[in-house]
Amino acid sequence: MKLDTRAMRHLASEDWRVLTAVEMGSKNHEIVPTPLIEKLARLRGGVSGVHRSISALAKVGLIARVKEAKYDGYRLTYGGLDYLALHTHASRKVVYSVGNRIGVGKESDIMVVADHSGKQCVLKIHRLGRISFRTVKSNRDYLKNRNAQSWMYLSRLAAMKEYAFMNALHEEGFPVPVPLAQSRHTIVMSLIDAFPLRQISEVPDPASLYADLISLILRLASHGLIHGDYNEFNILVKEIKSTDEDGKESVTLEPVIIDFPQMVSMEHVNAEMYFDRDVNCIKRFFLRRFHFTPTQPGPFFKDAKKTVGKGGLKRLDATVEASGFTKKMLKDLEAAIKEKETVNEGQEGAEEDEDDYDEDGDEESEEEEEEDGDDDGSEADDGEGEGRQEALLTGGLSEGLLGDEPAIDKANSEMAKLAV
Ligand SMILES: Nc1ncnc2c1ncn2[C@@H]1O[C@H](COP(=O)(O)OP(=O)(O)OP(=O)(O)O)[C@@H](O)[C@H]1O
């Protein structure tokens, strides 16, 4: 599903209240009964006002009517949750406009956004459940009683976890995007002007980039952490050009780490396996891509373990736990990620029929699909980063997200027509 912000400016404040009411109701109800929406929204216009808003929201696919249920009710769609998150970012003046999608992961969408001053940033929308929950229906203890809303809960957890780690890492001076804000299943971070390692076919000095990447693994370990998915997709490489006194130009490469869904503590029961996997992933990639083999063996987990917290180094695994991310949350998320891995391994090509399913992982009935209105069946895949370049070049951004915001300048709104 794609993020389409066109309807956003047309929603009235009552509509936002009703949408928020559906979200609140979803915490305890798989399908939120209409009387509960009325109660939670408490509009001045009374029940008829609520009904008007419900129709308006259902028409643009932000909520969906559920007919099979014993009672009449609605559920929030991914589109609805996207709008709520964007509304929060817009009200807090973090995001003013939305541009192109620059990446589409299996479990997320990455968009370029801009703030009021036109500064571009990245909005990451977590979409757990897009693939996994429709394929594996058994073995889901951790989602008992959550079923239909599991995608919402897990996507929110993924965003919270990523934001907590990004904050902790940024504060400690690690090369990660600057975390700017988090709302629901989304985070806003700085835009890194770089390409993923997987798109780089040649480097002047593979040994030096390799050494930097390994030393990042060791530095993380000394702070009690393992990335857990340290591969050519999650490492961006920045080119820093400089000129020395004699006017000779040189380029140095600086890695930036993104995406921390499976970051684990060095104390984790499988820490050694995760650590070795990260190291081997980099080794394998350097051999395959750059025909580079390190002269030294290792690094080894047992040596890295000795450095954890040494000399008063801050334990970032503890910092994250202290930030409100409970053990239960970590366990739920870990179970979901493990499930995703099992699914990914067993089912290459499972995405083909993705469009036939809704966010809950259920097969959509035709009626529901019509009503959702959030699926045009086309999945443009610009995950190779071309979209990013385009966005940077054209500044292709939408108009302000909130209807009552001052109009964006003309040049920018012309771009908006192209982009959104
Ligand atoms: N802050 C950023 N600045 C620039 N580009 C970014 C940024 N964050 C993500 N990207 C781009 O978006 C792509 C996907 O990002 P990310 O790895 O976070 O998503 P993901 O859904 O976790 O991916 P997957 O699960 O498929 O590995 C990256 O490879 C990168 O090209």
Task: Judge whether 115 lies within some domain.
Answer: no
* pLDDT score at 260: 83
Find the 30 Cα to ligand 1 centroid distance in Å.
31
Probe target for ligand 1 pocket from 104, 188, 259, 281, with the most ligand atoms within 8 Å of CB: 259
Atom of ligand 1 nearest to the CA of 107: 21
Q: Which domain holds residue 267?
A: 195-344
Q: Ligand 1, atom 11: nearest CA belongs to which residue?
A: 103
Find the 259 Cα to ligand 1 centroid distance in Å.
7
Amino acid in position 311? G
* Among 322, 344, 366, residue at a domain's last position: 344
CA distance 149 to 28: 9
Same domain, yes or no: 69 and 200: no
Same domain, yes or no: 64 and 205: no
Backbone angles phi, psi at 110, to 5 degrees: -120, 120
Same domain, yes or no: 74 and 213: no
* Better-predicted residue by pLDDT, 413 or 195: 195
Task: Judge whether 207 lies within some domain.
Answer: yes
Find the 385 Cα to ligand 1 centroid distance in Å.
9
Q: Ligand 1, atom 23: nearest CA belongs to which residue?
A: 105
* Among 344, 379, 400, residue at a domain's last position: 344
Contact residues of ligand 1, CB 6 A cut-off: 102-103, 105-108, 110, 122, 124, 177, 189, 191-192, 196, 233-234, 258-259, 385, 388
Query: Are residues 240 and 255 in contact, defined by beta-carbon separation less than 8 angstroms?
Result: no
CA distance 227 to 282: 12
Q: How confident is the model at residue 321 (pLDDT cuts 50, 70, 90)?
A: confident
* pLDDT score at 93: 93
ipTM of the complex: 0.94
Probe target for ligand 1 pocket from 100, 124, 189, 239, with the most ligand atoms within 8 Å of CB: 124
Probe target for ligand 1 pocket from 100, 101, 102, 193, with the most ligand atoms within 8 Å of CB: 102
* Better-predicted residue by pLDDT, 78 or 222: 222
CA distance 127 to 261: 12
The residue to which tokens 């334990």 are assigned: 315
Task: Judge whether 299 lies within some domain.
Answer: yes
Q: Ligand 1, atom 16: nearest CA belongs to which residue?
A: 259
Using DSSP's 3-state secondary structure scheme, residue 280 falls into helix
CA distance 106 to 128: 8
Atom of ligand 1 nearest to the CA of 258: 18
Query: Are residues 217 and 279 in contact, defined by beta-carbon separation less than 8 angstroms?
Result: yes
Task: Judge whether 238 lies within some domain.
Answer: yes
Same domain, yes or no: 216 and 337: yes
Find the 147 Cα to ligand 1 centroid distance in Å.
28
Find the 215 Cα to ligand 1 centroid distance in Å.
22
Task: Judge whether 244 lies within some domain.
Answer: yes
* Among 76, 92, 108, residue at a domain's last position: 92
Of 91, 142, 80, the closest CA to residue 115 belongs to 91
DSSP H helical ranges for 42-77? 46-59
How far lies 17's CA from each of 11, 36, 184, in Å? 10, 13, 16
Same domain, yes or no: 218 and 339: yes
Task: Judge whether 384 lies within some domain.
Answer: no
> Has residue 354 got a pLDDT over 50?
no
pTM beyond 0.80: the answer is no
Atom of ligand 1 nearest to the CA of 385: 31
Q: Ligand 1, atom 12: nearest CA belongs to which residue?
A: 103
Atom of ligand 1 nearest to the CA of 261: 22
Find the 237 Cα to ligand 1 centroid distance in Å.
13
Averaged over 124-140, what is the pLDDT?
59
Find the 109 Cα to ligand 1 centroid distance in Å.
8
* pLDDT score at 30: 82
| Marked catalytic residue, from 229, 358, 372, 375 | 229
Of 238, 228, 84, 93, the closest CA to residue 165 belongs to 228
CATH number at residue 14: 1.10.10.10
- Provide the number of structural domains found in the chain: 2
Query: Are residues 266 and 272 in contact, defined by beta-carbon separation less than 8 angstroms?
Result: no
Task: Judge whether 221 lies within some domain.
Answer: yes
CATH number at residue 224: 1.10.510.10
Task: Judge whether 240 lies within some domain.
Answer: yes
Pair of tokens at residue 47: 């029940």
229 is catalytic: yes
pLDDT tens per residue across span 99-114: 988 877 778 899 999 9
* pLDDT score at 346: 53
Q: How confident is the model at residue 368 (pLDDT cuts 50, 70, 90)?
A: very low
CA distance 289 to 282: 10
Find the 234 Cα to ligand 1 centroid distance in Å.
7
* Better-predicted residue by pLDDT, 91 or 362: 91
DSSP H helical ranges for 291-409? 301-306, 316-322, 327-346, 366-372, 386-394
Poorest-pLDDT segment among 73-87, 108-122, 133-147, 329-343: 133-147
Query: Are residues 165 and 260 in contact, defined by beta-carbon separation less than 8 angstroms?
Result: yes
The residue to which tokens 């990446």 are assigned: 103
> Has residue 365 got a pLDDT over 50?
no
Probe target for ligand 1 pocket from 106, 110, 230, with the most ligand atoms within 8 Å of CB: 110
